Amino acid sequence: MPKNQGHKDKLYISAAEWAIDYGGKKRERNQAKRILPFDCCALSLQPFETPLCTPDGVIFDILHIMPFLQKYKCNPINSKPMKFKDLVRMTMAKNADGKWHCPVTFKVFNDNSKVR
């Protein structure tokens, strides 16, 4: 039998073999996910003035979510049906520096704060 007949004795992996056998580049895993800052509306990506929160914990500004709900009648994050009654108004205050803080403990909220 000839030596190279039917054998793949290569010293390299082709692009097709890499993609099929080893998964190729996994761009989804390598891309860093950007986290939205705490004081930004999830719809407009701008700082909010009057925050409203969904039961899932997503914060919207009332100026941006109201027209969206009137037009589409769904949650812009997961496309499930949503009414204005489902949103909870968040009672927060701003300190002298213009940062949001808890009205009871006066602790300034940051991106790692848990709001309940």
Q: How is the chain split into domains, by residue range?
A: 35-116
The mean pLDDT of 91-116, rounded to a whole number, is 86
Structure confidence at residue 32 (pLDDT): 56
**The domain made up of 35-116 is a member of CATH 3.40.50.1100:** no
Alpha-carbon Rg for the chain, nearest whole angstrom, is: 25
Structure confidence at residue 6 (pLDDT): 57
Closest C-alpha to 53, from 92, 105, 20, 27: 92
pLDDT tens for 4-57 read: 555 567 788 787 777 777 776 665 554 556 778 888 999 999 999 999 999 888
pTM, two decimals, is 0.67
Average pLDDT, the chain: 83
pLDDT at 115 over 80: no
> How many beta carbons lie within 10 A of that of residue 39, not counting itself?
19
